[in-house]
Amino acid sequence: MRSSGTTSVSLTGALAYGRQEITTDRTATVAGVVRLRAESKANAWSGRIEGGYRFVAQGFGWTPYAAGQLTTFDLPAYAEQAILGSNHPQRTWPSHRRVLCDDERGPDCAAAPPRRTTSTRTAASPLRSRHCRAHGPARGSYVLVPIIPNP
């Protein structure tokens, strides 16, 4: 089979940061009314990298790709304080970090339909499809996911 297209390598990446300010209020009625409050600030960092090699021939493109993603959640120590009432037993727990790693691989396909030219319309949108085998935090769990992008 003769190829009349081009090939190309792609590499993309993304970084993200999120900060959540969390306040909890609760009322306990064990020996009178006690109002408890806790405030904390949680942080989340995430990064993703994806690479593939695109093959194009006669209006059809096929890209085998692989991607990896890392997300880290940092939760601070949690300690309630009495803001009304006696010093009731309070909930506390130490700070902890949760790290999640995900990977996926699969083909990304695109086909451009033949262009139609009429007096009112001149083009059609390309058809795209993406299927991936995603691997989540639970080892051994894979799922085949069809991803259909918006036109």
Q: Is the pLDDT of residue 116 over 90?
A: no
Other C-beta atoms within 10 Å of 58: how many? 10
Q: Categorize the per-residue pLDDT at 145 as very low, low, confident or very high, splitting at 50, 70 and 90.
A: low
Average pLDDT over every residue of 101-125: 64
pLDDT at 139: 55
Other C-beta atoms within 10 Å of 70: how many? 14
pLDDT at 19: 95
pTM: 0.61
pLDDT at 50: 92
Q: What is the DSSP letter of 99?
A: E
- Residue 123 to residue 136: CA distance in whole angstroms: 40
Reported as a single tens digit per residue, the pLDDT across 46-101 is 999 999 998 888 777 888 889 999 999 998 988 888 888 776 667 888 898 999 88
CA atoms within 13 A on the CB side of 143: 7
Reported as a single tens digit per residue, the pLDDT across 6-30 is 558 889 999 999 999 989 898 887 7
pLDDT at 4: 47
* Higher-confidence position of 132 and 121: 132
Residue 89 phi/psi, 5-degree rounding, is -55, 130
DSSP three-state, residue 112: coil
